[in-house]
Amino acid sequence: MALATRPEFDVRDRELPNSIRRLRINRLRRFYAPVMPVHRRALTSIVTNILDGYIQRNPLTPLGQRILQGWQVDLPFSPVISMVTGNSGMGKSTLMNRIQSYLGGQVWTHTNFRGVPFTETQVLWLRRNVPEHCTVGTLCSTFGDYADGVLGLKLYAGIFAKLQGSGRNAYLSEIRKIITTHHVGVLVLDEFQNLNLMGVGANKIIALLVNLRDELGLPIVVIGTHKALKLLRSDLSSGRRLVEGGYFDLERPMSTDDDHWQSLCNAAWEFQWVRKPIDYSEAIGEAFYEVSQGITGIMLTAFATAQLAAIEDGSECVTADLIRKVFNERMKPLHPAVRVLQSGDPVLMDKFDDLYKNFWPTTEREGADGAEVNVAANLPAANVDGSAAASLEKPSCRSRTSKDADSAARGAEPKKPVLSEEQIRKLVLADSMRDLISVLDGR
């Protein structure tokens, strides 16, 4: 219950105008159901590590004061580094968001403790994404900028700017000051798989994290896709250090019969803004699995898109067939990623995260010849009978030249406007919100 979040929903919303219901459907983005045991394990373990790390850094103890003053100390034990991993779209970052929310506010301003003046500002967590091709300096600098934003200061960013070109120790010294001065409870690094792009430089970042953990008693959480596991395989020592505090893999369900998958789909199915909702059935769960292959983010996107389609065509009912139809027609950029999951090929699976993260092309990319072809040309068509993705047309591997594309563009008929001239006139002359809604609803 601490991790779950549900969008605001009222069955009376189903009677609202179409244009308002379209906005309501976006609330599905705020749906999160921690149905797997690993969610609970991550919550209890990470929170325990954070609280445990605070015990030895208590500023009212001699040891805590020595740490606060930057003295060299021998900690009774070292805190741990935890790792959260899984495919893109499985909710890794959202899980950490919910754990942070469970801990409470990020910044606490203390004035006294048991009647004794105690003026300290405590930051429960600092969290940043690992930049691509980052260095120790750039990573530390991002935490400086972020700390200023959290605390409402203009201090640390300027300090790190002056350190450009300085050695690693200078950056490390400043990041230590932020962590000790503001009693940071945990350091969180997302997009950890970006370290794979750094080659041998990745070891310097890992060494930095281990140094902060050992010297400051600071627990650390790293979050990344399965590509981050290459760091564990390449260096046994680094791998051991990165999972001492727990390894939490948000594995996707491997079939629609998975109990956790059915629980997830059933929980999401409650949030229907169409006017003729139907009860949840296993057929719905099967359709969701066929179009998403167990990736939560894709499932929720398909559900939202199906509701929009049901409102647009006037059917006002989401069925298993409609879910498959909208996936085929409206979610084409995701087809290559789903084919990869269906193939089960380890080599292709390594490409999934990149395909998923770039699945919404811009207007320019949608009109560019071969934009989707180049991505999907070497991916196998699905072999799962009855699946939506199995029926997708395999993109042609022929790529036209830019000259051909220009000729086609010149000969193409101009697109018709979405609204008629009369509707546009009404929008311009509308006197009230009611008039606007009637036009947007097509009445």
Residue 316 has pLDDT above 50, yes or no: yes
Query: How many domains in the chain?
Result: 3
Residue 4 is assigned to a structural domain of this protein: no
Residue 411 has pLDDT above 60, yes or no: no
pLDDT class for 102, splitting at 50, 70, 90? Answer: very high
Could you give the 3-state DSSP secondary structure of residue 15? Answer: helix
Residue 391 has pLDDT above 70, yes or no: no
| Pair (218, 89) in one structural domain | yes
| Pair (67, 122) in one structural domain | yes
| Pair (240, 314) in one structural domain | no
| Pair (207, 294) in one structural domain | no
| Pair (233, 367) in one structural domain | no
What string of DSSP letters covers 327-375? Answer: HHHH-GGGHHHHHHHHH--HHHHTTHHHHHHT-S--HHHHHSTTHHHHH
Residue 353 is assigned to a structural domain of this protein: yes
| Pair (234, 272) in one structural domain | no
pLDDT of residue 324: 97
Task: State the residue range of the domain holding 47.
Answer: 37-250
Residue 219 is assigned to a structural domain of this protein: yes
pLDDT of residue 168: 75
| Pair (340, 420) in one structural domain | no
| Pair (180, 266) in one structural domain | no
Residue 396 has pLDDT above 60, yes or no: no
End position of a domain, from candidates 250, 266, 294: 250
Q: How far apart are CA 108 and CA 216, in angstroms?
A: 20
pLDDT of residue 390: 39
Share of the chain above pLDDT 70, in %: 77
Residue 231 is assigned to a structural domain of this protein: yes
Residue 239 is assigned to a structural domain of this protein: yes
CATH of the domain at 165: 3.40.50.300
| Pair (244, 261) in one structural domain | no
Which is more confidently placed, 13 or 141?
Answer: 13
State the chain's mean pLDDT as an integer.
79
| Pair (105, 225) in one structural domain | yes
pLDDT class for 94, splitting at 50, 70, 90? Answer: very high
CA 339 to chain centre: 21
Residue 27 is assigned to a structural domain of this protein: no
End position of a domain, from candidates 250, 271, 301: 250
Residue 22 is assigned to a structural domain of this protein: no
Instruction: Give the model confidence (pLDDT) of 219-274 as tens digits.
Output: 999 999 988 877 666 555 666 666 777 899 999 999 999 999 999 999 999 999 99
Please write down the HEC assignment for all residues of 204-257.
HHHHHHHHHHHHHCCCEEEEECHHHHHHHHHCHHHHHHHCCCCEEEECCCCCCC
End position of a domain, from candidates 250, 278, 313: 250
Which is more confidently placed, 350 or 327?
Answer: 327
**What mean pLDDT is predicted for residues 159-167?**
81
Instruction: Give the model confidence (pLDDT) of 360-381 as tens digits.
Output: 443 333 332 222 323 333 333 3
| Pair (124, 161) in one structural domain | yes
Which is more confidently placed, 28 or 77?
Answer: 28
| Pair (281, 361) in one structural domain | yes
Residue 297 is assigned to a structural domain of this protein: yes
